[in-house]
Structure 1
C-alpha cells in the first residue's frame, strides 16, 4: 500500500485519541496511591473514576453543535487546551473534591474528541477507507491506556502520582502546537498534492451522501425521534460499559484479585490494550474490503458490527478461568471487539446520516448513549466489589450488555436517518425509512 499524504491526518487523529485516553487512565494507574493519600474506600474510588464522564456526557451535544458551527480545527484546538490544563492541575489537588473538579473540567474538554473526529473523517476520508480510518483513530483510545499502564506506572513508582498528571498535560500541549501548524481542510491544505485533493473530494461520499451533503440539517428533535439513532446509542452504550470497566478498574483488579505489584500490573495491563489495537485495525480493514459502496449505502455495515460486538461477550468466561494468560487473552479479544465495535458504530452513523450538517450533533447524541452506560460502569463496579470482594458479577454484566448491543445493531439500525417516511429497496432489503 503506497503512502498517501492524508494518512498524516489519520495518525494525528490516532494521537488525539491516545492522549485523550492517556489522560483518563492516569487516575486509574495512580488509584492505589491516591486512595491511600485521601483515605477513601472502593465506592468513593468508583465515583472518582466516573467523575470525568459527568462533564463529558453533559457537553457532548453542545460541543457537537459547536463543531457543526465553527468546524473541527478550532473546536478541537480549544478543547485540547482546556483538557490538558485540567489534567495538569489534577496533580495540584489536595482533596477528593479538588480531583473531581479537575476531572469534570477535563471531561468537558474531551467531549469534542469524537464529534470532531467523526466530522474530520467525513471530510478527509474516501468512503472506501472510512472503516479503516475510524478504527485507526479509535485504536488510539487503546494505545493511550497501554502507554499509560507502563509509562505512568513507572512514573508513579519512581516519582509521585502528581507528576504523572503534569506530564500528561504537557503532552497535550505539544500535540496542540502541531495541530495548529499543520491541520486545515483538504481544500486549503498546502502539503496535499492536487491529485490527492481531487481524489478525496471525489471519493469521500457515497452517491446518496453526496446528494445530501449540502442539505439542510434535520435537527436534534428528528435525530432523537429516530429508532435507528436509539439502536446506535444502545450498541455504543454496551461497548462503552466494557471499555470503562477495564479503563478504570483493570489495574485495581490485577493488584487486588491477582496480587500484582503496581509496576507488574501496569505491564500486564498494557498487553491486552496493545493486542486490541491489532485486532481492531485488522477488523476495520476487513470490514472495508468486505463491504462494497452499495452495501455501505444499504446500511449493511450493521451486520459486521453486530458480529464484532457479539465477539466481545467472551468476557462472560473470565470468572471461570484461573490462568492469567487465558484471562489476558479473553480481555484482549473483548477489548479488540469493543474497540472495533465502537469505531464501526460511529462509522455506521456516518453511513446512515443523510445530512453532513447534522454530523457533530448526531455524534454527540450517539456518545451520550454510550457514556450513560460508561458513567455507570465504574460506580456499579465499585459497589459490587465493595459488597462481594470480587469482580465476577461485574464481568458478567459487561458480557450481557454486549449481547444486547449486538442484537440492537442487527435489528434496530435498518433505516437511514434524516429522510422522509417511505419504503425503499436497498440491495436485497426493503427498508422502512424514518423521518
Structure 2
C-alpha cells in the first residue's frame, strides 16, 4: 500500500481471522467429544448396552456426514460470518439439551441434531482459509486451525472429567452448550471477510491474491449457484479425488475412535480410574497436535524449497497413515505406560495425515471449492458412522483387541489409497464446454 510516496508493510489480519477459526474448531470438537467423557456414567444411568452406546456415538456422524454436500453448497452460497454464527449457536443449543435426556431415543435424536448443525463447519473453514491465505501458507494455516481439535481436547479433557466429577454428566452437557452459545455471538461480532475487514491493507490483500487466495470470487447473497448434477458428477468422477476421499475415511477412523470409545476403552476395558483416565487421555491428543503441526510446516517448507507439490503434500500424509497402524501394539501389552505410548504414536500419525484438507484447495475446480469440500468431508465422515458402530459390535463380548486391529487395518488402506490412487497433483479439469482446464 502506498500513500504520498510512503510504502506500508502488509498487515497480518489473516492471522487474527485464523485465531477465531481455531477457537471455533476447539468448540466444535468439544461438543463432539463431551459424550465420550460422559459415556461411562451416562450409559449406566440410561442403561445402555455396548451396541446402543455405539449407535449413540455414531448418531452425530449420520447427519454430519449426510449433510456435508448440502453444507458445502451452503458454504458457497452464504458468507462465513452469519452462517458460522448460526451453526455455532444452534449446535450448542442441541448440546445443552443433552443434559436433560431421559433415554436412548432422546439422546440419539439430539446427537443427530448436533451433527446436522455442525455439518457446514469444515467447508466454511476451508472457504475462510482459501480466501485469507495464499497457496504456500495454506497447509500451515490448515494445520494450525485443525490443531484446535487436539489442543482443545488435550487441555480440556481433564477439565471435562473434573466438571463431570462435580456436576455430573448432565452439568457437563449444559456447561459446554453454554460456552458455544456465547462464542457464537463473539464470532459474529469480530469475523470479517478480506474485502470487508477494516484492519487489512492493500499490501496484504495483494499478497494473498498474488499467492492464489480466492477472495474476489462469487459474493454471498448472489443468485448464482454451484449446484447441478453435472457439478456433482465432476467431483465424484476423478480418480485422484477418490484417492483422497478414501484416505480421509481412514484418517477419520482413527480420529473417531479417540473421540468416542477411547475413554471407555481405558476405564471399562483397561480398568483405569475415571479421573486418571481423563489425564492420560490428553497425551494422545497432544501427540496428534504435534504430528499435525509438524506435517503442515514441513509440507509448506518442502513446497517453498522447490519440492514437487505431489511429494510435499502426499509424503507426510502417507507416513502418518502408516504410523497410525501402531495402535495395534496396545493389544500386546498390559502396561499402562506402553498402552498410552502406542495410542499416542498412532494418533501422532493420524495428526500428520490431517493436513489432507489442503487437497480440497489444490484439486477442486475454483468454482466448486465448497462442493468439493463437502463431498470430501462427507466421504471422510462416513467413518464417524461406521467406526463407532463396528467397534460396539467387535467389543460386545468384552474383548477390545479386534477393534484396534480394525482401526489399524483402515490406516493401511488409507496409505495404499494415497500411494496407488492419488496421482499427479493438479486442479481437476472441468469438462463443461463453457469452461477450460484450470491450471494449478
Q: Is the shorter-chain TM-score for this pair beyond 0.5, marking a shared fold?
A: yes
Shift of 1:420: 5.5
The one of 93, 106, 110 aligned to 1:98: 106
Shift of 1:230: 1.2
Unaligned stretches of 5+ residues in structure 1:
422-431
Shift of 1:173: 1.8
2:410 is aligned to 401
Distance 1:26 1:256 in 2: 17
RMSD over equivalenced CA pairs, Å? 2.6
Shift of 1:23: 0.7
1:242 is aligned to 254
Assess if the C-alpha contact under 8 Å between 2:316 and 2:352 holds in 1: no
Q: Any idea what the Cα deviations from partners look like across 1:5-34, whole Å, max 9, x if unmatched?
A: 321222212211111111111111111111
The one of 11, 16, 31 aligned to 1:23: 31
Distance 1:232 1:394 in 2: 24
The one of 325, 331, 342 aligned to 2:337: 325
Unaligned stretches of 5+ residues in structure 2:
1-9, 432-436
Distance 2:120 2:46 in 1: 31
1:429 is aligned to none
Distance 1:20 1:190 in 2: 27
Shift of 1:312: 1.6
Shift of 1:114: 0.9
- For residues 333 and 212 of structure 1, do their structure 2 counterparts lie closer, same or farther at Cα, with a shift above 3 Å needed? farther
- TM-score scaled by length of structure 2: 0.88
How many aligned positions are there? 417
The one of 166, 169, 188 aligned to 2:174: 166
- For residues 314 and 213 of structure 1, do their structure 2 counterparts lie closer, same or farther at Cα, with a shift above 3 Å needed? farther
| Corresponding position: 1:254 with 2:266 | yes
Counterpart secondary structure, 1:143? helix
2:57 is aligned to 49
- For residues 194 and 3 of structure 1, do their structure 2 counterparts lie closer, same or farther at Cα, with a shift above 3 Å needed? closer
Shift of 1:198: 2.7
| Corresponding position: 1:128 with 2:146 | no
2:281 is aligned to 269
| Corresponding position: 1:149 with 2:162 | no
Distance 2:86 2:370 in 1: 16
Shift of 1:170: 1.4
2:5 is aligned to none
Shift of 1:136: 1.2
Shift of 1:151: 1.1
| Corresponding position: 1:369 with 2:375 | no
Assess if the C-alpha contact under 8 Å between 2:362 and 2:427 holds in 1: no
- For residues 433 and 8 of structure 1, do their structure 2 counterparts lie closer, same or farther at Cα, with a shift above 3 Å needed? closer
- For residues 179 and 204 of structure 1, do their structure 2 counterparts lie closer, same or farther at Cα, with a shift above 3 Å needed? farther
Q: Any idea what the Cα deviations from partners look like across 1:74-113, whole Å, max 9, x if unmatched?
A: 2212111110110011111112111111111100011111
Counterpart secondary structure, 1:40? coil
